[in-house]
Amino acid sequence: MSFSIPKNVPSFTSPNREFEDGAVGGLFGANRDLPLYKDKPYYQRSGRDRRKMYRRKRFLGGLIAIFGLFYWFGYFPGTGTSILPIKKKTKEIVNWEDRREKVKEAFTLSWNAYEKHAWGNDQFFPVTKAGRQMIPKGMGWIIVDALDTMMIMNLTKPLEKAQHWVEHSLTFEQDSEVNTFETTIRMLGGLLSAHYLSQDLKLVPVKKAVEDMYLNKATDLADRLLGAFDSPSGVPFASVNLKSREGVPSHADGGASSTAEAATLQLEMKYLSKLIGEALYWKKAEKDGLVPIFVYADTGNFRGHEIRLGSRGDSYYEYLIKQYLQTKNQEPIYLDMYNAAMSGVKKHLIAKSHPSHLTFIAELPNGIGGELSPKMDHLVCFMPGLFALGATEGLTVEEARKAEKGVKWGVRQEEDLKLARELMRTCYEMYNVTATGLAPEIAWFNLKHGKSGDGEFLKEDPSKDIIVKPRDAHNLQRPETVESLFVMWRITGDEIYREWGWKIFEAFLEHTAVGEGAKDGFTSLDNVNEIPPKQRDNMESFWLAETLKYLYLLFSPNDILPLNEVVFNTEAHPFPKFEMGHLFETGWKRLPRDKEGVIIKEGPKEEDAENPKKDKDEK
């Protein structure tokens, strides 16, 4: 596996060795490489020599004792007033429980500010202390998205108020258009996750009526979202009217839905079907690895050739492997599609920067065969965690390598895990190279004279590799990097990922806090390379729903929401894995493909060949 010595983290040197070298080695001379034992194995001194040696040892022992007292009380130049300065140089024993509590405090500050200045609103502006609705009566955008985070953090009092608002104030009977994708992953996902955590994990005491309330609200919303699927092709429209339940083509992108919008609805709909025993939602959501980022709902055809894993295309790839994991490996078609997609990513999109050979995922604006664009959205930083999750299927590396059932460990899995580590380092460096320690929305990589190194060591300054353009320098409190850090920690057990997460969290505390002591919450930034940075007046709902949740889980015990038992949707809402049972099945099959993944076109049947007009009419 690749590894490089991290910067600005606790030292890997031994504190014991430092003390011995400084305190003892200096007393006996400059040569610290003498052997502990004589080179001659049976060497023995005479009795007189032994008595002389005894007297020397007594004298030497007294000298050491005196030296020790002087050293302890700081009478030697450079030793300070006590031994504490030496302790400061040692690797600190980290209390992860304390760090986890700091994350909870940040959530509480954010929530209290929202509750005080914008309660019930879909958007919160911490700087001006105001809120705004996205539709007339609101969607509960922030409240619903944060329900499960409060459950995981065991924040009972704010949770009770949020539950009351959802039960008595939230209504979906509104004559308004909403985005199908965002409403599904945030609102439907948030309600379903709240139902799951309140019913099954018992993290916080919740009354039965509240459990049912979450499920009833989720079902009501899902019924309205189903209208988006009523398109000629079955591909969901980009938007839907909540009251009329009619799908609405996108008002941008020529009316096309994005790949993410069309193919990131399945986890939520399938889980709802399982909960209520109704296959309708499952069937509607199921309608082939690298695809363009836009698709027309009226025809099902893709628009253009642009391929990227950033905005508009990211979660399509994420949901391939997660659908396979959600139904406990009972739908291998999704694993096949995921593997095909990742093979395409590795073949066409993986690139190395110059001079440090950072591994990154580029874009193909003109499709396969076109020129590579060295641009990587912060959104792409979900990929390190995805590669690791796909390799081990949620098990630790040690468990996956020894697994007799499920994971088939081999060369591909080792390669994917190595790639996950390299990409994780790159995503961390996107934070590490900026003035604030926070990542830009988009990074550009230096490809001049780039070489295909293995990324094992960073021989140069990564700041030469990563270019941040002023228009891309904003930070929206996005979660993708800390999401991958959480997954990488759970799967590899490498504590460096926790350390990186803590450093990122500290940067958020330092630069995004609003008001004295963050009493008005936290906000987005205009430019991560300015000190002090200009603050944007906006707190995204995913700050509460994802970023702080993943940081909290990163510092939590591993038995809280273990990855071999749950899947997180693309908005960090956890759902349980489940057996399909007799009621559900994969509702479609892939067309046969050759080794390169190209669809094999079958020739016309004899009857059809004799009667071509009939074949044309049937199509």
Q: What is the dihedral of CA 143, 145, 148, 150, to 10 degrees?
A: -40
Output phi, psi for 132, to 5 deg: -155, 145
Distance CA 172, CA 528 (A): 38
Binding residues: 570
| Cα–Cα dist 260/271, whole Å | 19
SS3 helix, strand, coil % of the chain, rounded to 5? 50, 10, 45
Report the alpha-carbon distance of residue 420 to residue 432 in Å, rounded: 18
**H/E/C letters for each residue in 479-543?**
CHHHHHHHHHHHHHCCCHHHHHHHHHHHHHHHHHECCHHHCCCECCECCCCCCCCCECCCECHHH
Rounded Cα gap, residues 45 and 50, in angstroms: 6
Place of tokens 């983290």: 9
Q: How many helices (H) and strands (E) does the chain have?
A: 24, 15
Instruction: State the Cα–Cα distance between residues 51 and 43, nearest whole angstrom.
Output: 16
Token output for 145: 């998205």
Radius of gyration of the chain (CA): 29
Alpha-carbon torsion 433, 434, 435, 437, what sign? negative
Distances (CA, A) of 534 to 84, 378, 428, 523: 39, 20, 22, 10
Give the C-alpha distances (Å, rounded to integers) separating 81 from 73, 76, 78. Answer: 6, 9, 9
As beta bridge partners, residue 257 has 295
367 φ, ψ (degrees, to nearest 5): 85, 175
The CA distance from 206 to 187, in Å, is 20
CB contact set of 616 (below 8 Å; sequence gap of 6+)? none
- Rounded Cα gap, residues 321 and 554, in angstroms: 22
Q: Which positions ≥6 away from 36 have C-beta within 8 Å?
A: none
Instruction: List residues with catalytic annotation.
Output: 182, 314, 441, 480
The token pair at 204 is: 């916080």
Q: Give me the amino acid identity at 53.
A: M
Q: Going along 236-358, which residue ranges are E strands?
A: 239-241, 247-248, 257-258, 294-295, 302-303, 350-352
In 10 A of CB 141, how many CB atoms? 24
Nearest-angstrom CA–CA distance, 376 and 353? 12
| Sign of the four-CA dihedral 542, 146, 327, 565 | positive
Binding residues for Ca(2+), by number, are 570
